[in-house]
Amino acid sequence: MKKTKRILAWIGIILLIAMYGSTLLFALIDHSKTQGFLKASIACTIFVPLLLYAYTMFYRFSHHDSGEDEDDENKF
């Protein structure tokens, strides 16, 4: 499970870097269609991390009783 989480975390990091890079690229290019792309890129830069955070919070609350986090509970 830890290996899967690490792989998904790296995919998320690469995705965020690509979104930030595309936002910068669209901001610098002066073309008629890039204004729409820039707006979409800024929206994705804001909403994708928010949705990922909401998903992880929902997952933690819904799987709190499953016993998977027994080691984490014993640490405190």
> Whole domain around residue 43: which residue ranges?
2-64
pTM of the model as a whole? 0.56
- The token duo for 66 is 């499953």
Residues 44, 19: contact at Cβ < 8 Å? yes
Please indicate, yes or no, if residue 72 is contained in any of the structural domains: no
User: 57 lies in a domain?
Assistant: yes
Residue with tokens 């965020």: 16
pLDDT tens string 5-45: 788 888 888 988 888 888 888 788 877 778 888 788 888 88
pLDDT value, residue 65: 63
Measuring CA to CA, which residue among 60, 40, 58, 62 is closest to residue 50? 58
**Number of domain units in the chain:** 1
The answer to whether residue 48 is domain-embedded is yes
Residue 59 tokens read as 């997952």
